[in-house]
């Protein structure tokens, strides 16, 4: 009995609350990355291995625009636009010729693209990580920490981007086109929807979301050519745990996994806390292979 009360007293409540806030913030960014991945997977049937590299390139373009113009918000918008164009070009050149072939070909192709982009970044920008400063430097007090407002802003902005995108899918004319293409590619084509164009646009939107999250996250971790690797892995886990191609599930899974990792980081080294998300993935695959947050298939 004594041991139990001791255990409960030893739980660091303040630390838990701090880690909850941290978890939600990283969760929202992860959700933004993963929703781009989910979109591309759900609509194009393409597992985009290069998504982490688009995230990384977005951060680098953000750095360049920021040094040129000095405005963080300009960097955010321009980087999303530029990477969207790049994404469209990549889709047209490498993925369009593979339509109708075994989907495994697209995995290999996007893996090749990630190899190219990553080494291009290394070659162009060098191995030293770039710093990017936060656009908002004010803090507020959270227990013994001064917590930056910027982190809260990231979570809100990510939610706004995802929310805006969701509204577009639901009510926008082109959003309806995208949903129609997902449901029945052939019929959508027959109804006059330019399906190849929709595919290119979807890839571009996914790339733009990756780039935006790259710029938003850059002030927290620094910009380097390998920053995409960890994120794409985590985003894959999120996509599988959330149920492949399911937007709401991906968001829920992103926050769930980030929270678990944040709590685990209280007791173990953060580099080992990654294992928590791996374990979640394994358990999910064992007991609910369709994803934790997807509606059960009939």
Partner 1 sequence: MPLKTKLGHSAGFWIGFCVVMALLIVAPLVLPEYWRRFLTEILIWGLLAMSSDILIGYTGMVSFGHSAFFGLGMYGAAAALLIISPPNLWLAILFGLGGAAGAALFVAYFSTRLRDIYFAITTLIFSQIFYVIIFTWTEVTGGENGLIFSRPHFTIPFLYDTRFSTATLYWFVLAVVGGSYVLLRRIMQSPFGMVLQSIRENEARTRAIGYPVERYKIVAVMLSGLFAGLAGVLYAVQNQFAAAEFVFFTTSGDTVIFNVMGGIGTLVGPIVGAGFFQLIRELLPRIFGDQFPYLIPLGVIFIVMIIFLPQGLLGFARRWLNR
Where along the sequence are the contacts to partner 1 (CB under 8 A)? 47, 94, 97-98, 101, 103-105, 107-109, 111-113, 115-116, 118-120, 122-123, 233, 236-237, 240, 244, 269, 271-272, 274-275, 278, 281-282, 285-286, 289
Q: Within a 13 Å sphere around the CA of 63, how many CA atoms are in the beta-carbon half?
A: 20
User: Locate tokens 């970044």: which residue?
Assistant: 121
Q: Which is nearer to partner 1, 141 or 271 (CB)?
A: 271
Q: Which of 167, 45, 168 is nearest to 98 (CA)?
A: 45
Name the minimum Å distance from CB 45 to partner 1: 9
Name the minimum Å distance from CB 13 to partner 1: 28
Name the minimum Å distance from CB 89 to partner 1: 13
Q: Which is nearer to partner 1, 1 or 286 (CB)?
A: 286
Q: Which is nearer to partner 1, 149 or 278 (CB)?
A: 278
Name the minimum Å distance from CB 125 to partner 1: 12
Do 209 and 90 meet the contact criterion of CB atoms below 8 Å apart? no
Q: Which is nearer to partner 1, 66 or 113 (CB)?
A: 113
Name the minimum Å distance from CB 103 to partner 1: 6
């Amino acid at each position: 009995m004594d041991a139990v009360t001791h255990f409960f007293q030893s739980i660091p409540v303040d630390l838990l609350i701090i880690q909850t806030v941290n978890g939600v913030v990283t969760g929202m960014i992860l959700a933004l990355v993963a929703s781009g991945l989910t979109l591309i997977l759900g609509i194009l049937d393409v597992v985009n291995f290069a998504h982490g590299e688009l995230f990384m390139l977005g951060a680098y373009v953000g750095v360049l625009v920021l040094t040129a113009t000095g405005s963080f918000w300009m960097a955010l918008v321009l980087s999303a636009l530029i990477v969207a164009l790049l994404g469209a070009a990549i889709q047209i050149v490498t993925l369009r010729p593979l339509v109708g072939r075994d989907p495994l070909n697209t995995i290999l192709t996007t893996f090749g693209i990630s190899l190219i982009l990553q080494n291009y970044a290394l070659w162009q920008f060098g191995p030293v990580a770039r710093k990017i400063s936060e656009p908002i430097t004010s803090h507020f007090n959270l227990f013994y920490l001064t917590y930056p407002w910027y982190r809260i802003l990231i979570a809100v902005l990510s939610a706004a981007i995802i929310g805006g995108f969701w509204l577009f899918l639901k009510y926008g004319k082109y959003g309806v086109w995208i949903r129609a293409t997902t449901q029945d590619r052939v019929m959508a084509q027959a109804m006059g929807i330019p399906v190849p164009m929709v595919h290119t646009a979807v890839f571009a939107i996914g790339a733009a979301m990756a780039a935006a999250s790259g710029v938003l996250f850059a002030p927290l971790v620094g910009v380097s050519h390998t920053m995409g690797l960890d994120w794409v892995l985590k985003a894959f886990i999120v996509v599988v745990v959330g149920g492949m191609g399911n937007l709401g599930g991906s968001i829920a899974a992103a926050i769930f996994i980030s929270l678990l990792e944040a709590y685990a980081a209280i007791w173990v080294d953060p580099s080992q806390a990654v294992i928590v998300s791996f374990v979640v993935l394994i358990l999910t695959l064992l007991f609910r292979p369709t994803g934790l947050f997807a509606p059960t298939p009939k």
